[in-house]
Amino acid sequence: MDLAKYAALFVAESREHLKACNQLLIAWERAPAAAEPVNGLFRAIHSIKGMAATMGYTQVADVAHHAEGLLDAIRAGRVTVRPEYLDLLFRAVDGLGEGVEAAATGRDGAGTDAGALARALEVAASGTAVRPVSGAPAQGDGSAPGTLLDVRVMVRSGAPLRGARATLALRRVEALGQLSHLVPSAALFERDDFDGRFAFRLRTEAAPREVDAALRAAGEVASVTIDIAAADGVLDTAAFKQVRVDVARLDAMTKLAGELVVSRNRLLELLARAPDGELRRTVEALGRQVGQMQSEVLAARMTPVAELFDRFPRVVRDLARDLGKRVRLDVEGGEIEADRAVLEELGDPLVHLVRNAIDHGLEAPARRVAAGKPEEGRLRLVATRERNSVVIRVVDDGRGIDRARVLQQARDAGAVDESVQTLGDDQLLRVLARSGFSTATAVSGVSGRGVGVDVVVTRIRALGGSVELSSRVGQGTEFTLRVPLTLAIVNALLVRVGAERYAVPLAYVAETVDYDGGSKVDAGPRESLLVRGRAVPTVHLARLFDVPAAGGQRRPAVVLQLGERRAAVVVDSLEGQQDIVVEPFVAPAGTPPWFGGATILADGQPALILDAAALA
């Protein structure tokens, strides 16, 4: 059997099982008396064990086997749950995770401590029984007495006439209760390709070990697995209506869709000069179809933000423990969807911010109580939709950022002018985001490595997004990350400045107005344009880019809006809208921060994409 093609499946399925394990362990920690987490954990670990053993990842299988042993001992009542067992299981899950990732690169391993971990699990599983084993608890079903069991049996592979053996086993167990959900159906037992494996549900008053004994009494039974069935319901057929798609394939489709869009745009443009009716109609139809396909492909990439947030309960739990803080994590808006590529990019920045919040933002429990706050710090991860953006907020109710200290440090570093007295929220963020600036020093006075606000800002900007900061001393800090719903194809407004055209993502364009014909206000050192009664600071791109200003025409201004920030960007002319494919942009050193990507326009010419956050 060629195992290589199963390797990817092993990794994908194991990752899902481990994710579930983390969630179950956390739930179990909060409610130690619940039985369901143990069973779910057992099933997940058991599956991983089986797959790992088949694939020959012996270390992973070994750790899984012993974790399974401990879980079995717990659910059979041979061992009472102790907090250190939960920690051990968390470590086991981590070890298995390392093993699975190692498997993804073709290695067999289960973390640095696999052997010791396995031994520790084994010792825990052999703990003395504290309470006598009772019969299986009755299921809250009400319709029939006894427990509903999920049973899986495997007849020894070397046994002759396995189908007949399976039949014998079934008959023995039928005497103990009501059989249902037999897979494969009994008729298939007699086939030559029956592999000796079958599964069924049994409603019985007999204890699992009686069922086990009955099955084995049929002879030649290699393994029996009995779980308490979670629910007496029909198989969830909706689960089969989804297909797993390789992310690389999705990326390839997206790229192709993008290229199709560019070609379509080119065709339409060429067509504008050709009056041919038939050709025009055909291309327009093609254009619509390409547009639809693009929508479908983009929709396929949409993923609930919950997938991004999922890992955080565990991250928060571990960090809180390590740092001696008590933290409650609230997550909202998980159902909001965004492009998978966007969510992937948000992972690291969010971890940075969460670490910051727990390490520097939230005070130690005693400090909090002294300050009249609840002992448990509150950390919130909130996702919301805003037109074409997804907004993620990381909010803590901790001590806030000490602006005075940051200002002093900034002054010392020469980052701000001497005349600056206080730092507003925007300035505070800009100072913190300077590469290498350490807010650890700023906040706690303890020098340490930079906490990565600069990394966060850089990554979010690279996505075409923006970061905002709001902080109140003694009350807490809130970081707001605003990112596009989807990266790959952007609806953009084309503008001309000097000899070049630039693309402005429409997501950030509130409106376009007439600059030269509009009312201007000189409010301090910056000129503003009155837009609907409000003063919006202006940015003259010609001056910024140091190109000769176009004379003699009424120039438009594009009003950019990012949350509360607005800017009226003055350009030479507007050149229409286009769907553009964003190409990543590696700026040479020294490039000003005004550009967030590049693209090929419909007429084949390249254009730089303006970074709205840098201008507003």
Partner 1 sequence: MGQTVLVCDDAIFMRTMITDILSQAGYDIVGEAESGAQAVQRFRDLKPDLVTMDIVMPDMGGIEAVREIVKLDPDAKVLMCSAMGQQALVVEAIQAGAKDFVVKPFQPSRVLEAVQRVLG
CA 540/CA 250 separation, integer angstroms: 40
Query: What is the SS3 string spanning 450-509?
Result: CCCHHHHHHHHHHCCCEEEEEEECCCEEEEEEEEECCCCEEEEEEEEECCEEEEEEHHHE
The footprint of partner 1 on residues 488-547 (CB under 8 A) is: none
The footprint of partner 1 on residues 207-246 (CB under 8 A) is: 217-219
CA 501/CA 541 separation, integer angstroms: 12
CA 158/CA 166 separation, integer angstroms: 13
Q: Which of 615, 580, 610 is nearest to 595 (CA)?
A: 610
Residue 295's identity, in one-letter code, is S
Q: How far is the CB of 214 from partner 1 (least distance, A)?
A: 12
Q: Which of 448, 555, 440 is nearest to 496 (CA)?
A: 555
Q: How far is the CB of 169 from partner 1 (least distance, A)?
A: 10
Q: How many residues bind partner 1 (CB under 8 A)?
A: 12
Q: How far is the CB of 48 from partner 1 (least distance, A)?
A: 34
Q: Is 451 in the site for partner 1 (CB under 8 A)?
A: no
Q: Is 153 in the site for partner 1 (CB under 8 A)?
A: no
Q: Which of 370, 351, 350, 362 is nearest to 401 (CA)?
A: 362
Nearer to partner 1, 193 or 335 (CB): 193
Cβ-count burial of 61 within 10 angstroms (0-12 exposed, 13-18 middle, 19+ buried)? buried
The residue within the footprint of partner 1, chosen from 23, 80, 167, 573 (CB under 8 A), is 167
Q: Is 601 in the site for partner 1 (CB under 8 A)?
A: no
Q: Is 157 in the site for partner 1 (CB under 8 A)?
A: no
Q: How far is the CB of 151 from partner 1 (least distance, A)?
A: 19
Query: What is the SS3 string spanning 417-446?
Result: CCCCCCCCHHHHHHHHCCCCCCHHHHHHCC
Nearer to partner 1, 190 or 318 (CB): 190
Site stretch for partner 1 (CB under 8 A), options 30-38, 156-164, 582-590, 595-603:
156-164
Q: Is 600 in the site for partner 1 (CB under 8 A)?
A: no
The residue within the footprint of partner 1, chosen from 20, 161, 179, 440 (CB under 8 A), is 161
Nearer to partner 1, 82 or 191 (CB): 191
Q: How far is the CB of 347 from partner 1 (least distance, A)?
A: 54
Strand partners, 558: 512, 569
Q: How far is the CB of 160 from partner 1 (least distance, A)?
A: 4
Q: How far is the CB of 183 from partner 1 (least distance, A)?
A: 17
Nearer to partner 1, 174 or 603 (CB): 174
Q: Is 111 in the site for partner 1 (CB under 8 A)?
A: no
The residue within the footprint of partner 1, chosen from 190, 296, 386, 603 (CB under 8 A), is 190
- Helix, strand, or coil (residue 223): strand
Q: Is 164 in the site for partner 1 (CB under 8 A)?
A: yes
CA 482/CA 616 separation, integer angstroms: 14
Nearer to partner 1, 159 or 250 (CB): 159
Q: Which two tokens stand for residue 500?
A: 């070049």
Q: Is 189 in the site for partner 1 (CB under 8 A)?
A: yes
DSSP code, position 132 = P
With beta carbons less than 8 A apart as the criterion, state whether 563 and 468 touch. yes
Site stretch for partner 1 (CB under 8 A), options 89-97, 157-165, 300-308, 372-380:
157-165
Nearer to partner 1, 217 or 369 (CB): 217
CA 435/CA 429 separation, integer angstroms: 12
Q: Is 171 in the site for partner 1 (CB under 8 A)?
A: yes
Contact letters for partner 1, residues 295-334 (x by CB under 8 A) = ----------------------------------------
556-562/509-514 β-pairing: antiparallel
Q: What angle do CA 23, 335, 481 make, to 5 degrees?
A: 95
Q: How far is the CB of 168 from partner 1 (least distance, A)?
A: 6
Nearer to partner 1, 163 or 361 (CB): 163
Helices (H) and strands (E) in the chain, counts: 19, 22
Query: What is the SS3 string spanning 64-85?
Result: HHHHHHHHHHHHCCCCCCCHHH
Residue 204's identity, in one-letter code, is T
Q: Which residues bind partner 1 (CB under 8 A)?
A: 160-161, 163-164, 167-168, 171, 189-190, 217-219
